Amino acid sequence: MDAFVNDARGTNLKTLKTALAKYEDNLERAHPMLDNILSVLDPKQHSLGFLYVLKAKVGDSHKSNEAFINQVALFLANYSTEQVRLAPALFNTVINHYTEILHQTGQPIKGISGLKRSLAALSDSPLHILSPAHTNFLQLVILSKCYHIALPLIESNITSINPDQSGIAIQHILCYYYYAGIIFTALKKYKSAAESFKFVFTAPASALSAIAIEAYKKFVLVNLIISGSSSGFPRYTPPIVQRNIKSHCKAYTELTVSFSSNNINDIRQKAIPHAEAFQKDKNWGLVKLAIKSIYRRNIKKLTQTFMTLSIADIAEKVDLTPSKAEAFVLKMIEDGEIFASISQKDGMVSFHESPENFSGYNVFSELDSSINKVIQIDGTVKHIEEKLTLSQAFLKRMVNDRRGGNNNMNNQFDPEIDEFN
Amino acid sequence: MEDDMVIEVAGSSNGEKTTTTSSLSSSEFDLENYINNYSGNTKINRLIFIAEHCKPLEAEAYQMAAKEVQKTPNYELYKTIVGKSHGILSLDSAWVDNMAKKNLAQLDKLDSDLNTAKANMVKDSIRLAQNELGEFYYKSGDYPNAMKSFVRTRDYCTTSKNILTMCFNIIKVGIENVNYSHVITYVTKAEQSPDLDNASRAKLNSCMGLANLHLSKYKPAAKKFIETPFEQANVFSDVLSQQDIAIYGGLCALATFDRSELKKKVIDDPTFKQFMELVPEVRELINDFYNSKYGSCLSYLDKLKPSLLLDVHLFEHVEVLYSKIRSKSLIQYFSPYVSVDLNVMATAFNTTVQSLEKEISKLIMDDSIQARIDSHNKRLYARKTDQRTSTFEKTIQVGNDFQNSTNNLLLRLEMLNNNITTTSGRNKNNNGMDFEKSQFLENFHPQHSHFFQSHGR
């Protein structure tokens, strides 16, 4: 083991990985000694060696969880990106195990700062390139209910992955978006939540995954909360998903259908037989929220129709008791959903128009940043298109199509092809 | 389906009718006068319809219907009428037996006529024989066979006049048989005929209008009725009377035309004016509507309603047309105002403020009126949409949508490029796919969702 420590202290990055890889099996067999080895390694300077030892500890079922948590925390606080990138698979295993242990021991909040730092380990730009650590991070955020911490991450636009660098696989991506959807839902940002869930079941697929099914269920419910109806599949949804997913979500489809009646008692009646299914999916709370949202939408409709309306009339029109109706209106005013004031003297509610007049610094800076983002995206798309049209595979295909006989159809591509022939 | 609907409509308006028809004494609805506008099968049908839908007129109508039926060979229908009449009529079984025999003989004769004609290979006589046969079937109420015979004459038509006759025969059967797709096809066919006289054009237009009315396409129906040329004689009494054209056309136009169309195409139209002269109520109510005297217009409509409900073609559409007209008058009433006192508006429409408020709020919710109600002060205010605000809202929305969709597109592209997609567990040849996704989900999913469980309380 001394030899390992010596090699781990080596400074030549090029040979470090090969030098250490041969010890992997030895380390697995030397569980009792691992803590000692760690104590003589510096997590910053000898990150790779440290990582190898931690990886070996993952397989040790007798280790002290507390000690492991502390060691990983120490490692994450100091690791060297350069060395970690030599062994992404090890890193992912360690992080994954760390997350699991934090969950098992019921202290997910402990790992959040460490994992937040780990986002950059295998991603050059943590806000734009996804890595497996992202998924684990969101998982801890949800477990510890510190939803706001993840907000900057999930609100940024992920557009890229780098599997060679980070070893990311499909389930990481799907789970990342599934978790993001859950966080958005928890923060009542339903539109973003729907977008996230939508990504999960529209991701490229030749088979139906359980993650996609769960995401679709939540997608349906979130849409019901937003609008009381369900939007269909986007055009680019994989056909296999479009064909099969509904058969796994019967209760949800029926709930959506019942919503078209807009009759609350009716919808409640229809939801009850499926209550067990909803509870099993742990979506019962969302179902209740969706049903409740009907009141909100009805009240909102009233604000567009009336300028003043008595509480009693509101109650009658949305089928609630007056005191409950008042509470609803009050809550909606607080949430900024409607603009109104209640006069308790004569029991009248006056509805106002939205005071937002879209002028001032904030609006313009927001618009400006939006425009800049769009320009940036446009640039990326152009770049990709250029790359694609110049790629050998594309050109070969074009030439083959042309030789395939149907000359007339491909004439429009001639200039490009001639250039490269 | 169709039948269900008819029954429902009849049932729902029944209560109303018993009250309205009690005021609808024979002095207001002159059955004899009304029914003399018609001839042939439609006369019988209309009488039966009235008898079924209007108690006070039942006896009179059944008697007249039986009398009419006995002029035709349709003894089956006669039996049905007598059966339906709750003992008002007694069965003349001698006539029935006699007629049954006569019919058989007649049918034999027509069949042999047809065969002789076919043997002689004279086109025109075959056509005539087929026509006779069709006419006989039509009169005995056997519409499918009538249709068959008339369609068969098609191969033997030599002149455009023949074709026209064929078309009219088929249209006639189609209308009685409530088969409007045939009506539309053959009206279109007949319209291509080069020598159409005014009378035939009138028939074709009104049939097309009727077909559109039945399909609830009120605007084209109105146009067709209004374009119908006026004929002095009642040329089309076996389908429609000229009063019908005035009523159908007027109501459909009122329900669907805008103000300028109404003025140009209905009120100032010299031909349609002649139709309207026949039914002064329709003329008055259209004028009242145009002159914004909605109260009097609506009261005319209310007065007309009981008799319209007794119309075999219109009764299904009366409610729809009436509510359309009512909504339109509400919209038009409000259009020039910025704010209106609901009390005044309610008086103008002969209604209470409460029910008016409900009607208007419905119209606002389907975006027919751009306004908001001040329920406290009972006022209606026009709503001006702030173009600038809505443009800003839309722009920001579009921008965000674009960003979202493009970003997701890029990521999906990247996934495809790296060959990272969901594949079935059986052929997991992908990099990094070392365990089943479902398993992965099992491991992580349930524990997090406690939040959703307790959330909705």
HSE on the CB side for B27, CA within 13 Å? 2
Report d(CA A298, CA B225) in Å as an integer. Answer: 42
> What does the pLDDT look like over B355-378, one tens digit per residue?
888 888 888 888 888 888 888 888
Report d(CA A366, CA A374) in Å as an integer. Answer: 12
For residue A45, give the DSSP letter. T
Chain A residues in contact with B389 (beta carbon < 8 A): 354, 356-358
Instruction: Please say if the pLDDT value at position A365 is more than 80.
Output: yes
CB contact under 8 A, B408 and A356: no
Give me the pLDDT at residue A404, please. Answer: 65
Q: Smallest Cβ distance to B375: which of A161, A284, A309?
A: A309
HSE on the CB side for A167, CA within 13 Å? 17
Report d(CA A330, CA B265) in Å as an integer. Answer: 53
Cα-flanking dihedrals φ and ψ of residue A209, to 5°?
-105, 155
- Residues 274-303, chain A, touching B (beta carbon < 8 A): 279, 281-289, 292, 301
Q: Smallest Cβ distance to A161: which of B381, B418, B454?
A: B418
Give the 3-state secondary structure of residue A307. strand
Pick the closest to residue B337 from B298, B304, B369, B294 (CA basis).
Answer: B369
Residue with tokens 């979500």: A249
Q: Smallest Cβ distance to B415: which of A203, A206, A207?
A: A203
Average pLDDT over chain B, rounded to whole? 79
> What does the pLDDT look like over B307-322, one tens digit per residue?
888 888 888 888 889 8
- Interaxial angle between packed helices B242-256 and B218-227, expressed in degrees from 0 to 180 and rounded to the nearest 10: 140
Chain A residues in contact with B415 (beta carbon < 8 A): 161, 170, 173, 203-204
Chain B residues in contact with A306 (beta carbon < 8 A): 361, 372-375
Domains of chain B are 209-315 (no CATH), 337-398 (1.10.10.10)
Alpha helices in A306-360 (DSSP H): 311-318, 322-334
Chain A residues in contact with B376 (beta carbon < 8 A): 308-310, 346, 348, 350
pLDDT tens digits in sequence order for chain B, 457 residues long: 333 333 333 333 333 333 334 345 444 677 888 888 888 888 888 888 888 888 788 888 888 888 888 888 888 888 888 888 777 777 788 888 888 888 888 888 888 888 888 888 888 888 888 888 888 888 888 888 888 888 888 888 888 888 888 888 888 888 888 888 888 888 888 888 777 778 888 888 888 998 999 888 899 999 988 888 887 666 677 788 888 888 898 999 988 888 888 888 888 888 888 888 888 888 888 888 888 888 888 888 888 888 888 888 888 888 889 888 888 888 888 888 888 898 988 888 888 888 888 888 888 888 888 888 888 888 888 887 778 888 888 998 999 889 988 988 888 988 888 888 888 765 444 433 333 343 344 444 433 444 444 333 3
Strands B371-374 and B379-382: antiparallel
Report d(CA B193, CA B121) in Å as an integer. Answer: 26
Q: Smallest Cβ distance to B410: which of A207, A309, A380?
A: A380
Q: What is the nearest CA distance from A263 to chain B, expressed in angstroms? A: 16
| Chain A nearest-CA residue for B357 | A306
Report d(CA B208, CA A122) in Å as an integer. Answer: 73
Q: What contacts A77, CB < 8 A, 6 or more positions away?
A: A43, A114, A117
CB contact under 8 A, A158 and B407: yes
Residue with tokens 């008016």: B356
CB contact under 8 A, B416 and A284: no
Pick the closest to residue B369 from B328, B430, B313, B319 (CA basis).
Answer: B328
CB contact under 8 A, A169 and B422: no
Q: Smallest Cβ distance to B372: which of A170, A284, A306?
A: A306
For residue B422, give the DSSP letter. B
Q: Smallest Cβ distance to B422: which of A205, A214, A279?
A: A205
CB contact under 8 A, B376 and A292: no
Q: What are the angstrom distances between the C-alpha of B52 and each of B7, B47, B58, B84, B440?
A: 11, 9, 7, 9, 70
Report yes or no: A186 and A196 within 8 Å, Cβ to Cβ.
no
Give me the pLDDT at residue B452, please. Answer: 42
CB contact under 8 A, A169 and B432: yes
CB contact under 8 A, A306 and B361: yes
- Residues 53-112, chain A, touching B (beta carbon < 8 A): 103
Chain B residues in contact with A279 (beta carbon < 8 A): 453
Whether A244 and chain B come into contact, CB under 8 Å, resolves to: no
Q: What is the nearest CA distance from B376 to chain A, expressed in angstroms? A: 6
Pick the closest to residue B129 from B108, B142, B113 (CA basis).
Answer: B113
Pick the closest to residue B421 from A159, A161, A119 (CA basis).
Answer: A161
CB contact under 8 A, B399 and A214: no
Residue A406 binned pLDDT confidence (cut-offs 50, 70, 90): low
Report d(CA B257, CA B251) in Å as an integer. Answer: 10
B179 burial level (CB within 10 Å; 0-12, 13-18, 19+): middle
> What does the pLDDT look like over B190-201, one tens digit per residue?
888 777 778 888
Interface confidence, given as ipTM, is 0.83
Bridge partners (DSSP) listed for residue A306: B373
CB contact under 8 A, A143 and B452: no
